[in-house]
Structure 1
Amino acid sequence: MSDPLVSLVMVGLLSISCQYFAYKVRLPAILPLLIVGILVGPVTGVLNADALFGDLLFPVVSLSVAIILFEGSLTLKFSDIAGHGNMVRNLCTIGVAVTWIVAAVAAHYTLGLTWQLSFLFGAIVTVTGPTVIVPMLRTVRPKTNLANILRWEGIIIDPIGALLAVLVFEFIIASQETAITHTLMTFGKTIGIGSFLGLAGGYLLGIALRKDLIPHYLQNTAVLCIILGIFAASNYVAHESGLLAVTICGIMLANMKNVDVEDILEFKETLSVLLISGLFILLATRLNLTEVTDLGWGVVVVLAAIMFIARPLAVLVSSVGAGLNLREIALLSWVAPRGIVAAAISALFSLKLEEMGYEGANIIVPIVFLVIIATVVVQSLTARPVASLLKVRSPPPTGFLIFGGAKFNRLMAEEMQNQGINVCIADTNWDAIREARMMDIPVYFGNPMSDHASRHLEMSTFGTVLIMSPYKQLNPMIAYHFEYTMGKDKVWALTSNEQSTRPSHQVSDHYAKKLTLFDEGVTYGVLASSAARGGIVKTTRLSEEFDFGDYLEKYGVRVTPLIALDAEDHIYTFINGRDLLPEPGWRVISLIDPEKKSSEA
């Protein structure tokens, strides 16, 4: 396409279309992005990244990868590695080394790559990534310990694998010099400058953020510009040391005390989604299908080595002392899809090596893309049945996520905990969260549908979401978000009694059907008022002598049934319009209004 403006707009529209399609069909976005990129690139010739950007392609890819790696390194907290056990730490160190060596050896002997290119390829394919792991975990629903291991491995291994690839690349660049002394000096300079600028830049930026030297409204933009400045400065002083610098800078910021990077991280994640989507389509347009077919059967051997030798061996070695059984090790050995970071880094280094005239560099990208396709497609389709076969899937989650931390919600959550129900309160109000913490109730401070929540809120343990907050604008969005991720009849909300009488409070029919939590007329205001007057939430066990009818007759309008547990501890939520008749032997959790309670005698 000759018009650059139309081409750029097309990339943006295709990117968001692929992201939306992936969202609807619950697939990793990387698959539709790859397919569309190949269709508009080598198949039809509608788009060509080289023709569109010309000499700017390398700087655009380079800056994009720098931002992506910085965003990934911001999630790399040392406490997270320690908090999730030896297995995660081992996978991100010993496991990376094992995968690196096995992939490199396979590539060298089956594809004829030089040892330098083979080790660069091996370093690139060590990364997995949360963008492909998280959607898979939602479908597979493995045991909690396995889900934690895979999720945190995906978060932590991205910057580590990228850093390894940077170091290998720098060694390749340095090793082109004839003098071994000059080679070592160049390599040492690259490592030294990248590390120094990364540590110094991260420390000074952290101090500026800690002391609020940058106005809040400028923080995101300022950090972005400073990071790109560190990247450019590092590259200027020591050739191609910028990626190392920004990765170390992000790690430094993530681990500094009293430095809040959450707002920066959310901004960078939003930017990364745009960059990742557009970049992946553009990189896919550069694929030469002839080069892919020319790889021959050797690439199948490489894929098999990565999936059936490198990963199982890495997991097995890493699992020593981790307390995992063979079935758990087997599932971890099967799930390791590669993602966008592998694609972006391979394209970046391939471009650089091609510009330098390095023979064979052009086949790095096709091999990496084939690894991405094979691991994502095969493992996405088979991980769930494999987990079922190994009997390592979690049972259907029975926990409750309560959105809203008002006094009644805390009383209800406390009583649910007393009855053995897993419950967590989420709210954007710090005072409410603080009160819940003082009651030893698990909490999440923030918006539960945010990117931060997707990293820190363990949704695999929750089977029901109860929306019980006064945030009328946010409640419907929370409902839509969790209905998509959890399924139908898993999300319920309190009625407001306003949607039929006040035009300004009209809601969609779909959302209105969810406004049936507990009983007719039970609003947030009703519950808050009762709790303020001293209302209590208590549990009553039914029997043959005192059944549910007797229970309702005793309390009458004083009682609002909330939750019921049968004799086998199955949990039921009272929903207006749904017949629920607890039987003898069941327990019923209810709100008892204090004024009406005092009138009984």
Structure 2
Amino acid sequence: MHDIGLKIALIGVMGMGAQWLAWRLRLPAIVLLLIAGMVAGPATGFINPEMDFGEIYRPLVSLAVAIILFEGGLTLNFKEISETSTAVRRIILIAGPLVWVMTALSAHYVGGLTWPTAIVLGAILVVTGPTVITPLLRQAQLASRPASLLKWEAIVNDPIGALFAVVAFEVILVFLGLHQGGSLAYVVVAAFVVAVAGGFAAAKLIQWAFVRGYVPEFLKAPILLAAVLLAYALTNLVLEEAGLLTVTVMGIVLANTRIASLAEMRRFKETITVFLVSGIFILLTASLTIEDFRSLDWRAALFVASLLFVVRPLAIMIATTGSGATMPERILTSWIAPRGVVAVAVSGLFGAALEEAGIIDADRMVAFTFAVVVTTIVLHGFTLGPLASLLKLKSSEKPGLLIVGGPRWAIDLAKKLKSVEVPVMIADPNWNHIAEARLADIPVFFGDILSEEAHHTIDPKRFSNLIAVTDNDAYNSLVCTDFAPELGRSHVFQLGRGGDQPKRMSLNFTLGGRPLTKDGLEFRALRERHWQGWTFQATRLTEAFDYNAYLESRSEDAIVLLWVKPSGAMVFASDAANTPAIDDRIISFTPAKDHLGERNGSAKKSKEKSTSPAEPE
């Protein structure tokens, strides 16, 4: 089968299928992508990237890696690194070179590789893949400090490791007599300056053009993508792979600028990156051959073991001494270092170049790199969560509820949720609205939830759901629309918009979130009922007091708002496909007569010594 269009389509289908399956099974996506690549390449021979794509294969991979690193840079904000800046700096400046040297020594003396191949391989394996770290951090739910440490190291070290490999390769060519040594230092320094200064200048130019309105909204994301590719290619004219540093600098600079449409562009880049990572991993894995696997012997296994248990831990422990990082954070960082797309792509590039230069074992570089990638992805992917729990580095809070708006009834709801151990936070720019919440020891954010400060202060991963309950329907819709991409459209809720509004006053159905109540109650209706004495009740269902019995014990006016599963997950009644089950805790908004009726009913049944329904908690 030689239809290249069909092969490209199947690569996309396999990549997205692996990502979806990983999401459903809560597995590291890269593991399933590797399996897909093995099946498509070495196992069946269906895809042979070198033969199928010819000369454009390597440039396409390089451009894809550039986009991936740029998107990683877009996620780095300087405010996030305030607590770990010293440790990150030392890991990059001290641990990086140490890993390079020790990995090269291990590759030569343990792995049996020649010095040229060992030196370049050591430089390549300095990197830790952001394409692997990011989904792992999302699943592991680490505390902010260790998560920031691993994320910054992964993204910043990727281009640095590629530049190390470039320098090592150029030095080797000088020793082989293929390059002049006199101009090498000049070229390397010039490339570094061009990469950093060029990335900064390109980012500032984009910021100026976007802020001044010289680029229309619908062209901003495409122009940004084209600018990234151009900056990468131009820098590579000075020194091969120096463009990776350029695009990373571009991403970091843009992430710390005030561009109104940056959030939309970041989501666009995330979509492209997920697709590119999936496809590139499958292609790179499919490029392996049976001979590559046969080149891996017991010495290769010892080399991988030395990298995991000696090189990385020793380098991190030395670099982070006195950095302010705690011992648990240092232990976690010394173990977690999965390699990803950049390591494989760069090893393929320099392996082929060294082979052309006459290095006899250069073809083994890709196999050694893949051995490290597969081992680290599997081991680190499945041990990050348990190790973080053992070291007590996981976020102490389970995902909770973010309430935007501070009316009195919402504060009562927050109190009730807190009583059943559901984490909750109230955000409101009116100090009087949140004063009562502060007295009840409920976490609050004093300010606008849409502000830049809120973006850096409030971690959306702490919350599984959001409800917008201000008295402004349009603002509620704006909040839900803004948070929907982060939390998911099915996890943002708002008060009723008023179904009897004229068309000119109603918002488009694509804006906003799900209705908070089945009847679509508005702000005024909930406020008036609260004034009339309605309160929130939490009731746990039992085998003797199931959901039907619960409904019979309430008046028809009572509103079942949500229920909390034993795992802590929240299910909102207005969007539920099923009814509450045994041990679920129902949060309801009920009239005063319901409370009295339930207490009297419970007392009567208690006197009769029969099984009674659960009391309100």
SS of residue in 1 equivalent to 2:465: strand
Q: Which amino acid aligns with 1:77?
A: N
Distance 1:539 1:563, change over 3 A: farther
Matched, 1:441 2:445: yes
Matched, 1:529 2:533: no
**2:398 corresponding residue in structure 1:** 397
Q: State the distance in 1 between where 2:22 and 2:537 align.
A: 47
Q: Which amino acid aligns with 2:163?
A: V
Q: State the distance in 2 between where 1:75 and 1:409 align.
A: 37
**8 Å contact kept, 2:111–2:299:** yes
Question: How far did residue 378 of structure 1 move?
Answer: 1.9
**2:162 corresponding residue in structure 1:** 165
**8 Å contact kept, 1:468–1:493:** yes
Distance 1:482 1:225, change over 3 A: closer
Distance 1:26 1:157, change over 3 A: same
CA offsets 1:114-146 (integer angstroms, 9 cap, x no match):
44543432333333345433544465555x25x
Matched, 1:133 2:133: yes
Question: How far did residue 382 of structure 1 move?
Answer: 3.5
Identity %: 30
Q: After alignment, is 314-323 or 97-106 more displaced?
A: 314-323
Give structure 1 stretches of 5+ with no counterpart.
426-431, 485-489, 499-514, 543-555, 582-587, 594-601
**2:503 corresponding residue in structure 1:** none
SS of residue in 1 equivalent to 2:82: helix
Q: State the distance in 2 between where 1:220 and 1:571 align.
A: 36
- The aligned runs of 1:43-442 (5 Å cut-off) are 43-84=43-84, 86-137=86-137, 140-142=140-142, 144-145=143-144, 148-173=145-170, 175-177=172-174, 178=177, 179-256=180-257, 261-321=262-322, 326-354=327-355, 359-390=360-391, 397=398, 399-402=400-403, 405=405, 407=407, 411=411, 422-424=423-425, 434=429, 439=434, 440-441=444-445
SS of residue in 1 equivalent to 2:75: coil
Question: How far did residue 290 of structure 1 move?
Answer: 1.8
Q: After alignment, is 251-260 or 472-481 more displaced?
A: 472-481
**8 Å contact kept, 1:92–1:157:** no
Question: How far did residue 287 of structure 1 move?
Answer: 0.9
What is the CA RMSD across the aligned residues, in angstroms?
A: 5.0
Distance 1:212 1:161, change over 3 A: same
CA offsets 1:181-220 (integer angstroms, 9 cap, x no match):
1222332333233334323222222221232221111001
SS of residue in 2 equivalent to 1:111: coil
Q: State the distance in 1 between where 2:527 and 2:287 align.
A: 63
Question: How far did residue 49 of structure 1 move?
Answer: 0.4
Q: State the distance in 2 between where 1:537 and 1:216 align.
A: 50
Distance 1:538 1:28, change over 3 A: same
Distance 1:460 1:203, change over 3 A: closer
Question: How far did residue 444 of structure 1 move?
Answer: 9.1
Question: What TM-score results when the alignment is normalised by the length of structure 2?
Answer: 0.71
Q: State the distance in 1 between where 2:485 and 2:262 align.
A: 28
**8 Å contact kept, 1:111–1:295:** no
Question: How far did residue 401 of structure 1 move?
Answer: 3.3
SS of residue in 2 equivalent to 1:304: helix
Question: What TM-score results when the alignment is normalised by the length of structure 1?
Answer: 0.72
CA offsets 1:280-322 (integer angstroms, 9 cap, x no match):
1111111123223323122222221222123322442344345
SS of residue in 1 equivalent to 2:402: strand
**8 Å contact kept, 1:75–1:155:** no
**8 Å contact kept, 1:563–1:571:** no
**1:5 corresponding residue in structure 2:** 5
**2:441 corresponding residue in structure 1:** none
Distance 1:443 1:94, change over 3 A: farther
Question: How far did residue 221 of structure 1 move?
Answer: 0.5
**8 Å contact kept, 1:106–1:302:** yes
